[in-house]
Copies of this chain bind each other. A is one copy, B any other.
Amino acid sequence: MTSSRPPEEVHDRCSHCIGREHSICSAIEDCDLAILASESSKMTVPDGRSFIEEGSPAHDFFVVTGGRVKIFTLLPDGRRQITGFAEGGDFLGLAASKSYAFGAEALGTAVLCRFPHASMQRLTARFPNLEHRLRQEASRELSLLQARMTLLGRKTARERLATFLMERIRLLGAACQETPHQIELDLPMPRTDIADYLGLTIETVSRVLSAFKREGLISIRNITHITIMQFERISAIAEGLE
């Protein structure tokens, strides 16, 4: 809360981190957190600011520790494909060899933990478990991308939106899984981003959401807050069963 932080705070930074349990940092024991902290640095990125440029040399990995981030690729004429949204605990930077295969920018104010490649190398040398954790992370992401390719290549607009809603629900975690009726959802990204994520236009996103509302599948409280009214049917649409 104070603006001038004592130096020991640096070494304690990781223990209070929101990413502590879910991120790759869980591969490191509490007693070694000071090492983790010394190899990384915290950075705050303002809304809309890009912090990874597609094609630029890949020097760092990132862990999102606060706020949200969007990952995307661009075509020369400006067409954009958002390949993912990242939030608390998510790891960034695996999709790169010498240079990043994607760009990234903050969606709202975002807080990141930056790990230079050299630091990560020191860490994986010291904690072999971490390397395995990174591979797991990559595998998880590869699995997700398989599904996303099927969405982009083969699903209709309705199916894409339904799948997107299911993804957001799954992201809430086991929180309110007990009541599959009436799930409150917020969509923190503008329609433009949803469209670029689903390979659609903003108008189509808007129309399909309106149609879902008309059919009583969801109710739209305001732009960012919607309520899932018929979980099962949306789930069925997402799988292409309706």
Q: Identify the closest chain B residue to A153 (Cβ).
A: B199
Q: Identify the closest chain B residue to A75 (Cβ).
A: B240
Q: A128-B128, A145-B149 are in contact. Are A140 and B97 (CB under 8 A)?
A: yes
Instruction: Tell me whether B155 and A152 are in contact (CB under 8 A).
Output: no
Q: Map CB proximity to B onto A182-206 as digits: 1 under 8 Å, 0 otherwise.
A: 0000000000000010110000000
Q: Identify the closest chain B residue to A121 (Cβ).
A: B132
Instruction: Tell me whether A142 and B199 are in contact (CB under 8 A).
Output: no
A150 at interface by CB-CB < 8 Å: yes
Q: Identify the closest chain B residue to A134 (Cβ).
A: B135
Instruction: Tell me whether B146 and A102 are in contact (CB under 8 A).
Output: yes
Instruction: Tell me whether A76 and B240 are in contact (CB under 8 A).
Output: yes
Q: A140-B97, A141-B142 are in contact. Are A75 and B155 (CB under 8 A)?
A: yes
Copies of this chain present: 2
- Within the complex, the shortest CB–CB distance from A148 to chain B, in Å, comes to 6
- CA distance in complex: A97, B146 (Å): 13
- CA distance in complex: A134, B142 (Å): 13
- Within the complex, the shortest CB–CB distance from A232 to chain B, in Å, comes to 15
- CA distance in complex: A76, B154 (Å): 12
- Within the complex, the shortest CB–CB distance from A105 to chain B, in Å, comes to 15
CB-contact partner of A152 in B124, B128, B153, under 8 A: B153
A215 at interface by CB-CB < 8 Å: no
CB-contact partner of A143 in B81, B101, B147, under 8 A: B101
Chain B residues, Cβ within 8 Å of A27: none
A138 at interface by CB-CB < 8 Å: yes
Instruction: Tell me whether B138 and A80 are in contact (CB under 8 A).
Output: no
A122 at interface by CB-CB < 8 Å: no
A77 at interface by CB-CB < 8 Å: yes
Q: Which 5 A-B pairs have the closest CB atoms?
A: A153-B199, A138-B138, A152-B152, A101-B143, A95-B142
